């Protein structure tokens, strides 16, 4: 028997560590939400300027700029005409900007050209030498105007069609006096809580990835989940950091910022999609196929810009469209699994997996409509999923360690049982090929050769398949598929049905996609015929069923024969086959065999195999 005194991680310790981590994360979340309610286009400088005038899209009519009005940046070049006005630190109006201090502008993947009377046009356009010449990035820049009452024209060009629909709104909302270091400090301060949250994510992810590596090296189960969760948290952390206010002030490589920001979201969703596939069952093949296609498309989004076919930022539109399609497929799989699942814990996991998929879809639609910019919904979901992931990990790691400890203890015992198991298996299999069974079968064949040659031919075929199944598995130490075992049972039953045509055999295999020791079901069916039905005056039936529960696969063999007193199982030599089958089930797949029998009514044998132990 396994040693039940294996050293375990105390439950109270796990709960205490988990509780402390959750409190820390909640505090970080509250601080972030309390201080990150503004985007990069809103600074905390002492004095601000704002633009008053009108705008037009392309060659369209001029329209007055209203406060808080959305001006789309994806319908063509936009021209602004008017003046900058100033307000005091308290928001009190001062007057028209006179041109003494440079004005800061926030550019979100756009180029801006300023036109003043008597001066050469001045253009803010960050060239991206890697992915083409365009304003491919976000940045804070400044320009000093001559000032005065003469109107200024600002031409805004957007080389992209998606992702920065609110770029002009951000530019107008963020205009302020550039106070040099004070200005930069204000912007950086407004994003520090989000950056710190991202840094926490990255640190935790590295710990998880290290744990996953250690778990893989010592062959602990569920290490693949640790790898995927670690990757999800790592890329979510990178997204937090590079989407925070003032990213261009601590990393002035605009191209790098754009690539890391886009890549982190792409790989976050890819890793998340892989995590979701780990929890699917009936729809797993569909989900895995979709994720493989998603991974292939992710490669394309990097190859095309590197080859100069299109700009990296422009691939985001196609990635979002493809990701949304995959999200719909995954949501459909989750809904299907949720509908058929009866395990409440697993159903909550399905609901949790739906949350980030829905958040991504909402953010994508709202960004396209210009309602908001970026992952407004996804970021809080990151926090929620982060906490949930840590809870899952805190449960997985202790269980995995305990499982590894048990596995080492059982390894010695398994090695000691191997010799006994091999002998038991050979004895069991050889016992199935009884001489009188062979004689009776050959006699039936001889009789049918004259009376019904076609039937004799079928019987010979079944008999050959039966013998091949027995001898073929004689030295097989590994489990076989249930479908293969049932094929062997059917060959055996077809032979016995010739000898006993008044017996009835029924098969209801709702699930046969699992593994079990060879010659497990067939000997039990044979026992049901020999010891259950043959003592009857006539007839009798045997029913074989297989099905699955959330945690186990089960097989039942039931007959309506004479039955017996189960107390004799441990002493009666004629039931040694059942004891051998029980031993092989326990040793090879951690399975159990339960027997119920009532004299005069029949016998029912139920095999139960944990799903974790019988995967192909």
Name residues whose C-beta falls within 8 Å of residue 548's C-beta, 6 or more positions apart in sequence. 510, 511, 514, 554, 611
Domains of the chain: 11-39+197-405 (no CATH), 48-179 (2.60.120), 433-613 (3.30.565.10)
User: Could you tell me how far CA 331 lies from the centroid of its own chain?
Assistant: 11
pLDDT at 488: 84
| Sign of the CA dihedral with 419 first, then 424, 427, and 433 last | negative
3-state secondary structure 440-486: HHHHHHHHHHHHCHHHHHHHHHHHHHHHHHHHHCCCCCCCEEHHHHH
Task: Kindly give the pairing relationship between strand 515-516 and strand 541-548.
Answer: unpaired
| Sign of the CA dihedral with 270 first, then 274, 277, and 283 last | positive
Phi, psi of 156 (to 5 degrees): -115, 120
| Sign of the CA dihedral with 519 first, then 521, 527, and 533 last | negative
User: Could you tell me how far CA 344 lies from the centroid of its own chain?
Assistant: 19
pLDDT at 452: 72
d(CA 242, CA 194): 9
pLDDT for 44-71, tens place per residue? 444 678 899 999 999 999 999 998 889 9
pLDDT at 476: 62
pLDDT at 435: 59
d(CA 258, CA 162): 14
pTM over the 0.85 mark: no
pLDDT at 24: 52
d(CA 2, CA 453): 56
Give the end-to-end CA distance of the chain in Å, rounded to a whole number. Answer: 26
pLDDT at 412: 64
pLDDT at 231: 93
pLDDT at 207: 86
Closest CA to 536 of 507, 509, 563, 557: 563
d(CA 542, CA 505): 5
Stated as kind and residue range, the H or E segment containing 258 is helix 254-278
Cα angle 258, 262, 263; round to 5? 115
Residue spans of the chain under pLDDT 50? 1-19, 22-23, 29-46, 128-132, 426, 429-430, 432-433, 616
Neighbours of 260 (CB within 10 A): 18
Stated as kind and residue range, the H or E segment containing 122 is strand 122-124
Task: Kindly give the pairing relationship between strand 111-115 and strand 103-108.
Answer: unpaired
Could you tell me which residues are beta bridge partners of residue 103? 143, 177
3-state secondary structure 141-205: EEECCCCCCCCEEEEEECCCCCCCCCHHHHHHHHCEECCCHHHHHHHHHHHHHHHHHHHHHHHHH
pLDDT at 413: 67
pLDDT at 131: 41
């Amino acid at each position: 028997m396994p040693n039940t005194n294996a050293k375990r991680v105390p439950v109270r310790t796990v709960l205490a560590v988990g509780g402390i981590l959750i409190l820390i994360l909640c505090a970080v979340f509250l601080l972030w939400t309390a201080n990150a309610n503004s985007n990069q286009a809103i600074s905390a400088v002492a004095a601000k300027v704002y633009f008053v005038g009108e705008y037009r899209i392309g060659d369209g009519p001029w329209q007055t700029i209203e406060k808080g009005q959305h001006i789309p940046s994806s319908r063509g070049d936009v021209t602004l005409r008017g003046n900058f006005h100033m307000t005091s630190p308290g928001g009190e109006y001062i007057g028209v900007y006179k041109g003494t201090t440079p004005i800061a502008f926030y550019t979100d993947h756009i180029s801006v050209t300023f036109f003043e009377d008597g001066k050469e046009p001045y253009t803010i356009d960050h060239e991206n030498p890697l992915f083409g010449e365009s304003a491919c990035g976000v940045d804070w820049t400044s320009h000093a105007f001559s000032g005065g009452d003469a109107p200024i024209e600002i031409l805004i060009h957007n080389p992209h069609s998606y992702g920065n629909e609110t770029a002009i709104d951000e530019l107008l909302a963020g205009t302020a006096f550039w106070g040099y270091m004070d200005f930069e400090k204000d912007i950086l301060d407004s994003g520090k809580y989000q950056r710190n949250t991202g840094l926490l994510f990255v640190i935790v992810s590295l710990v998880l990835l290290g744990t996953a590596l250690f778990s893989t090296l010592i062959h602990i189960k569920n290490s693949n989940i640790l790898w995927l969760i670690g990757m999800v948290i790592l890329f979510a952390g990178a997204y937090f950091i590079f989407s925070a206010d003032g990213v261009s002030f601590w990393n002035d490589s605009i191209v790098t910022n754009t690539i890391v920001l886009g890549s982190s979201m792409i790989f976050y969703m890819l890793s998340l999609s892989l995590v979701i596939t780990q929890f699917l069952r009936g729809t797993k093949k569909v989900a895995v196929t979709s994720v493989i296609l998603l991974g292939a498309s992710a490669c394309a989004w990097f190859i095309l810009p590197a080859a100069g076919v299109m700009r990296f930022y422009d691939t985001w539109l196609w990635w979002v469209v493809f990701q949304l399609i995959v999200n719909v497929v995954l949501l459909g799989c989750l809904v299907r699994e949720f509908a058929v699942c009866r395990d409440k814990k697993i159903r909550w996991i399905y609901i949790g997996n739906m949350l980030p998929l829905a958040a991504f879809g909402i953010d994508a639609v709202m960004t396209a409509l210009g309602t908001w910019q970026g992952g407004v919904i996804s970021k809080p979901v990151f926090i929620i999923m982060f906490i949930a992931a840590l809870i899952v990990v805190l449960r997985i790691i202790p269980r995995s360690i305990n499982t590894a400890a048990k596995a080492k203890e059982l390894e010695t015992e398994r090695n000691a049982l191997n010799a006994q198991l091999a002998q038991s298996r050979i004895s069991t299999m050889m016992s199935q090929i009884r001489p009188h069974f062979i004689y009776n079968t050959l006699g039936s064949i001889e009789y049918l050769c004259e009376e019904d040659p076609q039937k004799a031919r079928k019987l010979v075929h079944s008999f050959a398949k039966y013998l091949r199944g027995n001898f073929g598995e004689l030295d097989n130490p590994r489990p076989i598929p249930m479908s293969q075992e049932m094929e062997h049972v059917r060959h055996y039953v077809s032979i016995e049905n010739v000898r006993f045509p008044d017996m009835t055999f029924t098969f209801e295999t709702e699930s046969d996609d699992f593994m079990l020791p060879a010659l497990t079901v067939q000997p039990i069916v044979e026992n049901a015929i020999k010891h259950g039905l043959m003592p009857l005056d006539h007839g009798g039936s045997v029913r074989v069923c297989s099905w699955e529960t959330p945690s186990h696969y089960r097989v039942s063999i039931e007959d309506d024969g004479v039955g017996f007193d189960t107390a004799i199982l441990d002493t009666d030599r004629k039931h040694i086959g059942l004891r051998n089958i029980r031993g092989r089930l326990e040793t090879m797949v951690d399975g159990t065999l339960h027997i119920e029998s009532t004299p005069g009514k029949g016998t029912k044998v139920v095999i139960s195999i944990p799903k974790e132990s019988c995967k192909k």
